[in-house]
Amino acid sequence: MKYEQLAKRILEKVGGKENVKSVVHCITRLRFKLKDESKAQTEAIKNMDEVVTVMKSGGQYQVVIGNHVPDVYKAVVTVGGFADQSQQSDEDGNEEKGSVFSRFIDIIASIFTPILGVLAATGMIKGFNALFLSVGWLEATDGTYQILNIVGDSLFHFLPIFLGYTAMKKFGGSPFIGIAIGASLVYPAVDTLMTGDPLYVLFAGTMFESPVHVTFFGIPVILMSYASSVIPVILATYFGAKIENGFKKVIPDVVKTFLVPFFTLLVLVPLTFIIIGPISTWAAQIIGQATVFVYDLSPIIAGLFIGSFWQVLVIFGLHWGLVPVAINNLSTFGADPVLTMMFAASFAQIGAVLGVYLKTTNKKLKSLSIPAFISGIFGVTEPAIYGITLPKKKPFIISCIGAGIGGALIGFFGTKTYMIGGLGIFMIPSFIGPNGLDMTVWGALIAMVVAFVLGVVLTYLFGGVNKGETPLEKAEVAATEAPIEARVTNAAEVKGEVISSPFVGQVLPLSNIKDEAFATGALGKGVAVVPTEGKLVAPVSGTVSALFPTKHAVGITSDNGAELLIHVGMDTVQLQGKFFEAHIQQGDRVEKGQLMVEFDIKGIQEAGFELATPVVVTNSDQYNLMTTEEKEVKHGDSLITLIK
Tens of pLDDT, residues 476-529: 444 344 443 333 334 333 345 889 999 999 999 888 888 777 887 777 889 999
Res 180 pLDDT > 90: yes
pLDDT of 246 reads 94
Catalytic annotation, residues: 26
Q: What is the pLDDT of residues 385-424, one digit of tens each?
A: 877 888 788 999 999 999 999 999 999 999 999 988 778 8
β-sheet with 497-500: strand ranges across: 497-500, 638-643, 624-627
Q: Where does residue 263 rank: exposed (0-12), middle (13-18), buried (19+ CB within 10 A)?
A: middle
pLDDT of 196 reads 82
Q: How confident is the model at residue 467 (pLDDT cuts 50, 70, 90)?
A: low
Q: What is the pLDDT of residues 270-279, one digit of tens each?
A: 999 999 999 9
pLDDT of 83 reads 57
Q: Is the pTM of this model over 0.85?
A: no
Q: Where does residue 449 rank: exposed (0-12), middle (13-18), buried (19+ CB within 10 A)?
A: middle
Q: How confident is the model at residue 85 (pLDDT cuts 50, 70, 90)?
A: very low
Q: Give the mean pLDDT of 293-319.
A: 85
Res 49 pLDDT > 80: no
Q: Give the mean pLDDT of 12-30.
A: 85
Q: What's the mean per-residue pLDDT of the chain?
A: 84
Residue ranges matching CATH 2.70.70.10 in the chain: 493-643
pLDDT of 466 reads 74
Q: Give the mean pLDDT of 602-626.
A: 88
Residue ranges matching CATH 3.30.1360.60 in the chain: 4-88
Contact predicate 105/321, CB 8 Å: yes
Q: What is the pLDDT of residues 364-379, one digit of tens each?
A: 788 888 888 988 898 8
Distance CA 169, CA 88 (A): 7
pLDDT of 534 reads 93
Q: Give the mean pLDDT of 139-154.
A: 91
Q: How confident is the model at residue 150 (pLDDT cuts 50, 70, 90)?
A: very high
Alpha helices in 298-380 (DSSP H): 299-315, 323-333, 345-359, 363-377
Number of Cβ within 10 Å of residue 22's Cβ equals 18
Q: Give the mean pLDDT of 18-32.
A: 84
Q: Where does residue 610 rank: exposed (0-12), middle (13-18), buried (19+ CB within 10 A)?
A: middle
pLDDT of 98 reads 56
pLDDT of 559 reads 85
pLDDT of 225 reads 86
Q: How confident is the model at residue 318 (pLDDT cuts 50, 70, 90)?
A: low
Q: How confident is the model at residue 458 (pLDDT cuts 50, 70, 90)?
A: very high
pLDDT of 456 reads 95
Q: What is the CATH number of domain 4-88?
A: 3.30.1360.60
Distance CA 361, CA 477 (A): 8
Share of the chain above pLDDT 90, in %: 37
Contact predicate 402/458, CB 8 Å: yes
pLDDT of 58 reads 63
Distance CA 507, CA 503 (A): 10
To the question of domain 493-643 being in CATH 1.10.4030.10, the answer is no
CA distances from 112 to 118, 313, 390, 526, 565 (A): 11, 17, 27, 45, 42
Distance CA 239, CA 231 (A): 13
